[in-house]
């Protein structure tokens, strides 16, 4: 069976800073709140879904390459619950698609202790990206314990619904004069939950119907970004979309923004 230590070793990458404004950032993707597994070719259980070293459609290898190309020193996976100790060496933290009972018979639900640890880390300068999903495919109820600390919550609805590949435009969002997405002008997001704002958070992306698809929230020295879909995994950044969509550029824009935002932590 592949050990967690070994998996961390093969997905860790050291990269020389090339941008001038970042230094020694470590970007972690969560595998505690989403801890899906599958059987490998050897019949052994192994971690699955939204991992840096997964180059299939289910992985984050393309997004990971964007972080490395923009100066991130290390990509890692956080298998443990978030605590002051486990978060101490992380500059940017991505939590994606938290498990519900359909994904995991014993999910690690977000709770107040975990949310407080993450919020304290953000306050000290951490950069947090929350990538949810629609309510049928993720646990939003407990995830909102964390989201509400930053002035927003994920709604139990479905926006940008795309029936099939013949209806890509139903998932289109056009971008203009955006603080994060400087080069991407049109992106694709499919079957997301909308976001509602209670305080402090600010909309970043809206649908044509004015539903909020993405927000930003400043919290202490840190920054929180959130969108109601896993979004930038390989399936939607690998060129299979119609040419008018620029999710690959969006991944580059987002990684640049997040790495630059971590400078307050150094």
Q: Kindly indicate the confidence band of residue 21, based on its pLDDT and cuts at 50, 70 and 90.
A: very low
Question: Residue 24: which domain range?
Answer: 4-265
Higher pLDDT, 2 or 217: 217
For residue 39, the model assigns a pLDDT of: 87
Q: Cα-flanking dihedrals φ and ψ of residue 130, to 5°?
A: -105, 120
Share of the chain above pLDDT 70, in %: 90
- Say how many domains are in the chain: 1
Q: Kindly indicate the confidence band of residue 4, based on its pLDDT and cuts at 50, 70 and 90.
A: very low
Q: Kindly indicate the confidence band of residue 19, based on its pLDDT and cuts at 50, 70 and 90.
A: very low
- Summarize pLDDT for 192-238 with one digit per residue, the tens: 999 999 999 999 999 999 999 999 999 999 999 999 999 999 999 98
For residue 265, the model assigns a pLDDT of: 64
For residue 23, the model assigns a pLDDT of: 56
Q: Kindly indicate the confidence band of residue 186, based on its pLDDT and cuts at 50, 70 and 90.
A: very high
From residue 176, alpha-carbon distances to 15, 144, 183, 258 in Å are 32, 29, 9, 19
Higher pLDDT, 1 or 25: 25
- Summarize pLDDT for 231-263 with one digit per residue, the tens: 999 999 987 899 999 999 999 999 999 999 998
Residue 15 confidence (pLDDT) above 70: no
CATH number for the domain including 123? 3.40.50.880
Mean pLDDT of 45-74: 95
Mean pLDDT of 114-129: 98
């Amino acid at each position: 069976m592949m050990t967690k230590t070994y998996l961390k070793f093969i997905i860790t990458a050291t990269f020389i800073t090339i941008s001038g404004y970042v230094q020694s950032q470590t970007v972690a993707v969560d595998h505690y709140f989403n801890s899906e597994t599958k059987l490998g070719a050897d019949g052994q259980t192994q971690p699955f879904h939204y991992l840096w070293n997964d180059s299939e459609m289910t992985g984050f290898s393309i997004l990971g390459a964007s972080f490395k190309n923009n100066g991130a020193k290390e990509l890692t996976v956080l298998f443990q619950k978030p605590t002051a100790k486990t978060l101490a060496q992380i500059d940017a933290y991505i939590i994606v698609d938290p498990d519900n009972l359909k994904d995991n018979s014993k999910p690690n639900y977000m709770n107040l202790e975990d949310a407080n640890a993450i919020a304290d880390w953000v306050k000290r300068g951490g950069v947090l990206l929350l990538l949810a999903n629609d309510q049928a495919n993720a646990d939003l109820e407990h995830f909102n314990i964390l989201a509400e600390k930053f002035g927003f919550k994920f709604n139990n609805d479905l926006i940008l619904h795309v029936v099939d590949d013949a209806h890509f435009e139903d998932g289109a969002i056009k971008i203009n004069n955006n603080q994060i997405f400087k080069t991407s002008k049109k992106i694709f997001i499919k079957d997301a939950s909308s976001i509602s704002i209670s305080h402090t958070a600010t909309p970043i992306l809206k649908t044509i119907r004015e539903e909020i698809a993405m927000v930003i929230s400043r919290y202490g020295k840190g920054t929180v970004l959130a969108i109601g879909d896993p979004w930038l995994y390989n399936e939607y950044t690998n060129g299979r979309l119609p040419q008018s969509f620029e999710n690959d550029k969006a991944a580059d824009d987002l990684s640049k923004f997040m790495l630059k935002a971590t400078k307050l932590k150094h």
